[in-house]
Chains A and B, each alone.
Chain A
Amino acid sequence: MDLLFGILRFLLATTLLLLMTIPTAFVVIQMELKVIAQMQLRYGPNRVGPWGMFQSTIHGFKFLAKEDHIPDQADRATFTLAPWMVYMAAAMSMLVMPFAPGAIAADFNIGIVYFFAVIGLSVVGLLIAGWASYNKYSLLGGLRSAAQMVSYEIPLTLSVVGVVVLGGTLNFRELIAWQQLHGWMLIWQPVGLGIFYIASLAEINRTPFDMVEADSELVAGPFTEYSGMRFGFFFFAEYVALFIMSGVMTALFFGGWLAPWPFPAQLEGFGGTLYGLLWFFLKSYMFVFVAVWLRATLPRVRVDQLMGMAWKVLLPLAMLNLLVTAGAVLVFNL
């Protein structure tokens, strides 16, 4: 009975999450369009729907209506596989996302490990997309993505290890509970937060680390030869990943669903779920906003500077952070 219930619950949760990715992508894209426009002293899209709210939605439908073109010399099997891999990596990682009390699809005890394992899969998708397209720009972009994402995974994960050591758990829910007791991780791990934010931007190919797409250098990187909904999957995955990274940052460093004041930081029952959802989305979208703000301001770093930063700055810093955190835990017996 439990097993059946578990399976049903899993099916329901995954369906809901999959259904959620599309509107999430729409909202994030709409934010990007609108916020960057405002920062550039433009109005941005304002014709479709009230205040142009449905601009990104019709963008999405436009992808459906476009011709799906596969280059003659492309490897059809892998070419069609790549968008799915990238998209599923983003969608699957949402499985452990702690939206609110009682609103976690799969509350693993190793949720953080699962998350970093799954989000890292997208690099495989980008690599095969770059290889399968039979295009020099795609190939360069795919190789860049491999180098960049593999490199940044290390400081990204190491910066979280500090959090894990401090919280003593690999479960998101428990980590949030720890933060309710001890205050947000932001206070304990400021360096870890910095490393995490930079590395997460690089991990999801956001400006200023959008080496993979790099439209003024590589046209569109691995996506160059993609069109129609196949490109749409890459496109959505990119923006869903932005939301996910913001959500995970919220969970790890900003107390997840907790309200910013101690009472009532958390409510019980269904009301508590809604209250938690409110705060979680509020915080997550704030970080999405910051990412968009960065995109509006910064030029792109160069690929060698990017790698240099990962290996020469972030990695030693993360190591140091881990060392100090572990030392502190040992010494003060936290």
Chain B
Amino acid sequence: MRIPGLGILKGMRQTGRNFWAPKVTRQYPEERPQMPDRWRGRLDLIYDPFGEHKCEVCFQCAQVCPVEAIDMSGFDSQGNRIRYGLPEIYEERKDPNAYRRAGLPAEPMRNVARWDEAIDTAWLGGVIDGFGARPEALIGIFSAVQERYGYLPERALRLISDTMVIHWAQVFGAAGLGGFRLLPTEGHLVTVCRCAACRFAGGDALLSALSDELGIAPGETSNDGAWSLETSDEVAAGAIAPAIRIDTMIYGPLTAVQARHLVAERRKSAAAPARARTASRPS
């Protein structure tokens, strides 16, 4: 026979005792939990132990996200500036007004938004149609666009994605690989070949000479916007190593002095159109 109420009293004794007992709550922001050594649920996979950004902007996450929820920007392992996401959302974030709303000092955008750069849609549509909109021809279409604009404008990529029904992340990812430019260059573009043949034939000296002559480091643009210097593996120098490319013309083999001379010559006739010359001098 149970005495009615005794069970209730037993429970109340327990809760009453716990009223005074030490508490088990962790006061989170002050008291950080000790994460196990093997813990792998961290959300801050941002920097590795060497202090380097871990995200390589490889787009694999964006490509598999079915609702295109991932937007990202950064520099990938090729050094390309990549950004991916809805332009309006992204640009709103970069918008000086958004900064102002957030109470941050608003500076004019260094890299102006190019997603609204006008492109010749009819021409691009013709190019895509010429390839029959086959996905195999994506690189060919990119080549055509880069030939015309000097780089791949984002709006063109978007149009390609829409017309060819290829996922936007795929188009952007494909454009990020293989030497396409995603930013426009300013002025004359001097490209120094960095391939093994050129490097062992004295390409480093060429690069330092040109860098000295133009006063800019590789990847930079001179202050007057007339010259850009970059390196590439693409000049494919072979027998004419070491070689450089100025805009579309390839020169080689060159010595450092010859390279300086070439650039200086072009500088003098900066206003005049580049005259055609032989691509190489057989040795």
> Is there direct touching of A and B in the complex, by C-beta distance under 8 Å?
yes
Interface residues of chain A, those whose CB is within 8 Å of chain B, are: 35, 38-43, 293-294, 296-298
- Minimum CB–CB distance from B22 to chain A (whole Å) comes to 8
Is A39 in contact with B18, judged by CB distance below 8 angstroms?
yes
A294–B22 Cα distance when bound, in Å, is 21
Is A297 in contact with B11, judged by CB distance below 8 angstroms?
yes
Is A293 in contact with B12, judged by CB distance below 8 angstroms?
yes
Is A43 in contact with B15, judged by CB distance below 8 angstroms?
no
Complex interface: chain B residues within 8 A of A297 (CB): 8, 11-12, 14-15
Is A41 in contact with B23, judged by CB distance below 8 angstroms?
yes
Interface mask (B11-53 → A, CB under 8 Å = 1, otherwise 0): 1101110111111110100000000000000000000000000
Given A293-B12, A297-B12, A298-B11, also A35-B19 (CB < 8 A): yes
CB-nearest residue of chain B to A42: B25
Complex interface: chain A residues within 8 A of B15 (CB): 39, 293, 296-297
Given A41-B25, A42-B25, A43-B27, also A294-B19 (CB < 8 A): no
Complex partner residue of B18 from A41, A43, A294, A298, CB under 8 angstroms: A41
Is A41 in contact with B11, judged by CB distance below 8 angstroms?
no
CB-nearest residue of chain A to B24: A41
Complex interface: chain A residues within 8 A of B25 (CB): 41-43
13 contacts across the A-B interface (CB closer than 8 A): A38-B20, A41-B18, A41-B21, A41-B22, A41-B25, A42-B25, A43-B27, A293-B12, A293-B16, A293-B19, A294-B12, A297-B8, A297-B11
A42–B28 Cα distance when bound, in Å, is 13
Is B11 in contact with A38, judged by CB distance below 8 angstroms?
no
A186–B12 Cα distance when bound, in Å, is 22
Complex interface: chain B residues within 8 A of A298 (CB): 8, 11
Complex interface: chain B residues within 8 A of A39 (CB): 15-16, 18-19
Interface mask (B168-204 → A, CB under 8 Å = 1, otherwise 0): 0000000000000000000000000000000000000
Given A43-B27, A298-B8, 8 more contacts at CB 8 Å? A38-B18, A39-B16, A39-B18, A43-B23, A293-B16, A294-B12, A297-B8, A297-B12
A293–B16 Cα distance when bound, in Å, is 7
A39–B25 Cα distance when bound, in Å, is 12
Given A297-B8, A297-B11, A298-B8, also A38-B16 (CB < 8 A): no
Most buried by B among A35, A294, A296: A296
A38–B18 Cα distance when bound, in Å, is 7
A297–B7 Cα distance when bound, in Å, is 11
A296–B14 Cα distance when bound, in Å, is 10
Interface residues of chain B, those whose CB is within 8 Å of chain A, are: 8, 11-12, 14-16, 18-25, 27
A38–B25 Cα distance when bound, in Å, is 10
CB-nearest residue of chain B to A313: B4
Given A296-B15, A297-B15, also A38-B23 (CB < 8 A): yes
- Minimum CB–CB distance from B17 to chain A (whole Å) comes to 9
Complex interface: chain B residues within 8 A of A40 (CB): 18
CB-nearest residue of chain B to A295: B15
- Minimum CB–CB distance from B171 to chain A (whole Å) comes to 44
CB-nearest residue of chain A to B10: A297
Complex partner residue of A42 from B11, B14, B23, CB under 8 angstroms: B23
- Minimum CB–CB distance from A168 to chain B (whole Å) comes to 32
Complex interface: chain A residues within 8 A of B21 (CB): 41
A293–B15 Cα distance when bound, in Å, is 7
Complex interface: chain B residues within 8 A of A293 (CB): 12, 15-16, 19
A298–B12 Cα distance when bound, in Å, is 8
CB-nearest residue of chain A to B26: A43
A35–B278 Cα distance when bound, in Å, is 91
Complex interface: chain A residues within 8 A of B12 (CB): 293-294, 297
Complex interface: chain A residues within 8 A of B27 (CB): 43
- Minimum CB–CB distance from B9 to chain A (whole Å) comes to 9
CB-nearest residue of chain A to B8: A298
- Minimum CB–CB distance from A84 to chain B (whole Å) comes to 36
A38–B19 Cα distance when bound, in Å, is 5
- Minimum CB–CB distance from B31 to chain A (whole Å) comes to 11
Most buried by B among A38, A43, A297: A297
A42–B22 Cα distance when bound, in Å, is 9
- Minimum CB–CB distance from B196 to chain A (whole Å) comes to 63
Closest 3 CB pairs between A and B?
A39-B15, A297-B11, A297-B15
Complex interface: chain B residues within 8 A of A42 (CB): 23-25
Complex interface: chain B residues within 8 A of A35 (CB): 19
A296–B15 Cα distance when bound, in Å, is 7
Complex interface: chain B residues within 8 A of A296 (CB): 15
Complex interface: chain B residues within 8 A of A43 (CB): 23, 25, 27
- Minimum CB–CB distance from B20 to chain A (whole Å) comes to 8
- Minimum CB–CB distance from A14 to chain B (whole Å) comes to 37
Complex interface: chain A residues within 8 A of B16 (CB): 39, 293
Most buried by A among B8, B15, B22, B23: B15
A159–B8 Cα distance when bound, in Å, is 23
Complex interface: chain A residues within 8 A of B14 (CB): 297
A41–B20 Cα distance when bound, in Å, is 9
- Minimum CB–CB distance from A197 to chain B (whole Å) comes to 12
- Minimum CB–CB distance from B18 to chain A (whole Å) comes to 5
CB-nearest residue of chain B to A46: B27
A106–B27 Cα distance when bound, in Å, is 48
A40–B12 Cα distance when bound, in Å, is 12
A84–B27 Cα distance when bound, in Å, is 40
A16–B129 Cα distance when bound, in Å, is 83
CB-nearest residue of chain B to A289: B19
A296–B24 Cα distance when bound, in Å, is 17
- Minimum CB–CB distance from A202 to chain B (whole Å) comes to 15
